[in-house]
Amino acid sequence: MYRKLHRSIGIGSFIFLLIFVITGLTIQHSSWLDLDRHYIPSSLARSLYNTTVEDTIDYKIDNHWISQAGHFLYIDGLPVPYIELNNLQGAIGDETYIWVVGDNKLWLLSEQGEIIDELSVINGLPALVSKIGYNREGDIIIGGLGSNWLVDENMQNWQAYRGTQPTWAMPADRLQMPV
């Protein structure tokens, strides 16, 4: 009788320890296994830990995704350091840079997410901005408070824009995003 009980407890302990070791190794080597790059949907895990999935705002720029989740900005799923924002309002790209508008600021970023310049009304923007887009000629236009502005690549010269209606950056459908 004690022998069967001892065997059952031993097998149960072994299985528990094996699961413990496997999950520990998986957590310890999650970056090596590339687990931090994959989203695993699990309503059971979310309910157990009482978490929710944050809504994201996503903009598709050529082969890049610009996203806001919570108060953070991401390029292709990697966080952009030193940028916290409440409302991502637009993102476009040209041959060299990524232009991002949010919280009445304009950021000029490299494709790797390095901040090249940050402007607000205090240090150079001509008005509070709420959108960004292109005109037919491919010039970058920012808009806000009933006015539109044509911007040069160095973000130094701003001209009031009264040309054709710009094509404003619009959030992308999240269903297009790669998993």
User: Are both 92 and 163 inside the same structural domain?
Assistant: yes
Q: Which two three-digit tokens encode residue 75?
A: 């390029």
pLDDT digits (tens, 9 = 90+) for 100-110: 999 989 999 99
Residues β-bridged to residue 96: none
25 domain residue, yes or no:
yes
* pLDDT for the residue numbered 38: 62
Any idea what the Cα angle at residue 133 is, between residues 75 and 55, rounded to 5°?
A: 45
Closest by CA to 107, choosing from 118, 96, 97, is 118
Residue 20 pLDDT > 60:
yes
User: Are both 101 and 21 inside the same structural domain?
Assistant: no
132 domain residue, yes or no:
yes
pLDDT tier, 127 (very low <50, low <70, confident <90, very high otherwise): confident
Sign of the torsion angle spanned by Cα atoms 105, 108, 111, 112: negative
* pLDDT for the residue numbered 32: 80
149 domain residue, yes or no:
yes
* pLDDT for the residue numbered 174: 57
* CB contact at 8 A, 168 and 161: no
Specify the number of domains making up the chain.
Answer: 2
User: Are both 20 and 79 inside the same structural domain?
Assistant: no
11 domain residue, yes or no:
yes
Indicate the range of 64-68, 135-139, 154-158 predicted with least confidence: 154-158
Q: Which two three-digit tokens encode residue 34?
A: 């590339």
* pLDDT for the residue numbered 126: 82
Domain span at 31? 2-38
User: Are both 16 and 76 inside the same structural domain?
Assistant: no
Report how far residue 75's alpha carbon sits from residue 78's, in angstroms, rounded to the nearest whole number: 5
44 domain residue, yes or no:
no
* pLDDT for the residue numbered 179: 43
* pLDDT for the residue numbered 77: 87
The amino acid occupying position 110 is S
Mean pLDDT of the chain: 86
pLDDT digits (tens, 9 = 90+) for 36-95: 666 666 777 777 777 776 778 999 998 899 999 888 999 998 899 889 899 999 999 988
User: Are both 75 and 138 inside the same structural domain?
Assistant: yes
User: Are both 63 and 28 inside the same structural domain?
Assistant: no
Residue 170 pLDDT > 50:
yes
Report how far residue 62's alpha carbon sits from residue 96's, in angstroms, rounded to the nearest whole number: 12
Question: Which residue reads 């991002």 in tokens?
Answer: 100
Kindly report the CATH number assigned to the domain that includes residue 155. 2.130.10.10
